[in-house]
């Protein structure tokens, strides 16, 4: 029998990341692996939870200010969406853009991306839709579409999942990708009372807990590991020193888990750190972005200042 550990290239990277993460003193699993088919469905359910304010707040901001955002993008822009998940928000923009040169959704999940892109293309017959299957955290090539300007669209505060130094690297790389005069339209979850933040990651229905545990289910299925997902408790809290929500999976008991022939020991109460979700101050962010090649343009927020969408120029 061919072991589940030695099959494909994508699996190799996944396996290497999981083994490295579980070997650290504070065990870690990269949050980008949450989004298999089941994880993406669970995330979609999270966005509809009453406690999870970011998605609906950002949607309201884009709905209210789509014309102003499109105006910043300018005529004949090529819109490049990083991590193209929900194609809802981008439609609001596409509806307002002046003769867009094209739309390039970038995502690792090839199958999902191609079907979503085909659907979108059918709704926007004149628009050139050119999906790129790539991990946008690594260098990738853009299709050679002539455009007056390239604008990256990075909604959802996904940037919040990157540690500050990784986020800076990404900002620098995106500045290079769009080139001088290019733009970045970015969603940022803002700092706020932990009494609002913490329930958003500890919903009463347990959807976020299922989303967190699904990472173990995925590792079992794709890497032949033997995690007992029910033996790990979901934990999410706001870390005030670091301005971030942290998600963990806490081992309920002392146990040992096998991943591809390697054993990992857990003490009772020991956690695997599965996600950071940084929360931003707009002025702090603008200062950091300036060091990464971006000038602040305009920002739009909701009345409660829970979330912001900001336009930057390279
Ligand atoms: C997709 C990164 C915006 O950090 O809020 C939701 C992911 N994790 N609930 C976030 C997530 C737990 C989400 N982002």
How many angstroms does the Cα of residue 99 sit away from the middle of ligand 1? 33
Q: What is the pLDDT of residue 111?
A: 82
Q: What is the pLDDT of residue 3?
A: 54
**Confidence tier at 1 by pLDDT (50, 70, 90):** very low
Q: Which of 156, 205, 210 to mutate to test the pocket of ligand 1 (most atoms within 8 A of CB)?
A: 156
Q: What is the pLDDT of residue 297?
A: 94
* Per-chain mean pLDDT for the chain: 94
Q: Write out pLDDT tens, residues 151-197.
A: 999 999 999 999 999 999 999 999 999 999 999 999 999 999 999 99
Q: What is the pLDDT of residue 217?
A: 98
Residues 6+ apart with CB under 8 A from 72: 183, 185, 297, 298, 311
ipTM for the assembly: 0.98
Of the given ranges (2-6, 91-95, 240-244), which has the lowest mean pLDDT? 2-6
Atom 10 (ligand 1): residue with closest C-alpha?
277
Tell me the longest C-alpha to C-alpha distance in the chain: 60
How many angstroms does the Cα of residue 186 sit away from the middle of ligand 1? 15
Find out whether 235 and 247 touch, Cβ atoms under 8 Å: yes
Distance of CA 87 to the CA centre of its chain: 14
- Say what the pTM is: 0.94
Find out whether 192 and 282 touch, Cβ atoms under 8 Å: no
Q: Write out pLDDT tens, residues 61-93.
A: 999 999 999 999 999 999 999 987 767 789 999
């Amino acid at each position: 029998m061919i072991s589940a550990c030695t099959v494909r290239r994508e699996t190799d990277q996944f396996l290497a990341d999981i083994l490295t993460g579980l070997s650290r003193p504070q065990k870690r699993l990269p949050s980008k692996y949450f989004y298999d088919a089941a994880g993406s469905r669970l995330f979609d359910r999270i966005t509809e939870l009453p406690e999870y304010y970011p998605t609906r707040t950002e949607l309201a901001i884009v709905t209210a200010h789509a014309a102003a955002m499109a105006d910043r993008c300018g005529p004949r822009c090529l819109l490049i969406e990083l991590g193209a998940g929900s194609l809802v928000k981008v439609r609001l923009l596409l509806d307002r853009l002046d003769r867009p040169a094209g739309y390039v959704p970038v995502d690792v999940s090839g199958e999902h991306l191609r079907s979503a892109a085909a659907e979108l293309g059918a709704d926007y017959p004149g628009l050139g839709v050119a999906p790129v299957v790539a991990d946008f955290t690594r260098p990738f090539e853009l299709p050679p579409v002539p455009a007056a300007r390239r604008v990256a669209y990075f909604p959802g505060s996904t940037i919040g999942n990157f540690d500050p130094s990784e986020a800076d690297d990404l900002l620098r790389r995106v500045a290079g990708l769009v080139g001088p005069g290019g733009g970045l339209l970015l969603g940022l979850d803002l700092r706020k009372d932990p009494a609002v933040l913490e329930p958003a990651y500890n919903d009463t229905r347990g959807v976020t807990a299922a989303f967190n545990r699904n990472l173990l289910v995925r590792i079992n299925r794709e890497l032949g590991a033997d995690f007992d997902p029910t033996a790990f408790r979901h934990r999410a809290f706001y870390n005030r020193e670091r301005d971030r929500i942290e998600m963990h999976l806490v081992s309920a008991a002392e146990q040992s888990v096998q991943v591809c022939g390697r054993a990992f020991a857990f003490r009772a109460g020991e956690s695997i750190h599965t996600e950071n979700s940084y929360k931003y101050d707009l002025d702090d962010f603008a200062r950091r972005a300036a060091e990464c090649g971006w000038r602040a343009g305009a920002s739009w927020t909701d009345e409660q200042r829970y979330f912001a969408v900001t336009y930057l120029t390279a």
